[in-house]
Amino acid sequence: MPNYELTEGKTLVTLSKTAEKNSLINPELYSKYQVKRGLRDLDGRGVLVGLTEIGEVHSYILDEGEIIQVPGRLLYRGYDISDLVNGFTRDGRFGFEETAFLLLFGHLPDQKGLEDFKQILAGYQKLPEDFARDFILKSSSKDIMNALARSVLALYSFDDNPDDPSISNVLKQCLLLIACFPSLAVYAYHALSHYYSNQSLFIHSPRPELSTAENILTMLRPDSKYTKLEAALLDLALVLHAEHGGGNNSTFVTHVVTSTGTDTYSAMSAAIGALKGPRHGGANIKVIKMFEDMKNQLKDWNDDEEIEQYLTRILTKDAFDRSGLIYGIGHAVYSISDPRAVILKDYAAKLAQEKGLDDEFKLYASVERLAPQVIAKFNRMYKTVSANIDFYSGFVYKMLNIPVEMYTPMFAIARIAGWSAHRIEEIVNAGKIIRPAYKSVARRQKYLDLIERN
Ligand X SMILES: CC(=O)SCCNC(=O)CCNC(=O)[C@H](O)C(C)(C)COP(=O)(O)OP(=O)(O)OC[C@H]1O[C@@H](n2cnc3c(N)ncnc32)[C@H](O)[C@@H]1OP(=O)(O)O
Q: Which of 206, 330, 394, 409 binds ligand X (CB under 6 A)?
A: 330
Q: Which of 182, 247, 281, 409 binds ligand X (CB under 6 A)?
A: 281
* Class of residue 95 by CB neighbours under 10 A (exposed 0-12, middle 13-18, buried 19+): buried
- 241, 338, 390, 422: the active-site residue: 390
Bridge-partner residues for 282, per DSSP? Answer: none
> What's the DSSP call for residue 41?
-
Nearer to ligand OAA, 57 or 396 (CB): 57
Bridge-partner residues for 112, per DSSP? Answer: none
> What's the DSSP call for residue 70?
E
Identify residues 221-260 at the interface with ligand X (CB under 6 A).
Answer: none
Return phi, psi of residue 73, to 5°: -130, 145
Identify residues 17-76 at the interface with ligand X (CB under 6 A).
Answer: 44
Nearer to ligand OAA, 173 or 388 (CB): 388
Binding footprint of ligand OAA on the chain (CB under 6 A): 57, 244, 248, 331-333, 388-389
Nearer to ligand OAA, 269 or 388 (CB): 388
- Which whole-number Å values give the CA distances from 128 to 149, 150, 180, 201, 403, in the listed order? 16, 15, 10, 20, 26
d(CA 58, CA 339): 10
Return phi, psi of residue 55, to 5°: -135, 145
- 241, 280, 331, 422: the active-site residue: 331
130 is catalytic: no
Return phi, psi of residue 58, to 5°: -115, 125
Minimum CB–partner distance for residue 253 and ligand OAA (Å): 11
Nearer to ligand OAA, 70 or 203 (CB): 70
Identify residues 298-317 at the interface with ligand X (CB under 6 A).
Answer: 315
Identify residues 380-409 at the interface with ligand X (CB under 6 A).
Answer: 380-381, 383, 385, 388-390
Q: State the number of binding residues for ligand X (CB under 6 A).
A: 24
d(CA 189, CA 195): 10
Q: Is 219 in the site for ligand X (CB under 6 A)?
A: no
390 is catalytic: yes
Partner that binds at residue 325, options ligand X, ligand OAA, none, CB closer than 5 to 8 Å by kind: ligand X
d(CA 174, CA 104): 10
Partner that binds at residue 77, options ligand X, ligand OAA, none, CB closer than 5 to 8 Å by kind: none
Q: Which of 150, 276, 331, 345 binds ligand X (CB under 6 A)?
A: 331
Q: Is 339 in the site for ligand X (CB under 6 A)?
A: no
d(CA 144, CA 412): 10
In three-state secondary structure terms, 61 is strand
User: Which residue sits closest to ligand OAA, CB atoms considered?
Assistant: 248
Compute the CA torsion angle 36, 40, 43, 44 (nearest 10 deg). Answer: -150
Q: Is 150 in the site for ligand X (CB under 6 A)?
A: no
- Which whole-number Å values give the CA distances from 298 to 13, 86, 283, 308, in the listed order? 37, 38, 22, 11
Contact between residue 437 and residue 262 where contact means Cβ atoms under 8 Å apart: no
Minimum CB–partner distance for residue 185 and ligand X (Å): 17
- Candidates 26-34, 55-63, 178-186, 376-384: pick the segment binding ligand X (CB under 6 A): 376-384
Minimum CB–partner distance for residue 340 and ligand OAA (Å): 8
Which residues are the active-site residues? 331, 390
Binding stretches for ligand X (CB under 6 A): 44, 279-281, 283, 315, 324-332, 375, 379-381, 383, 385, 388-390
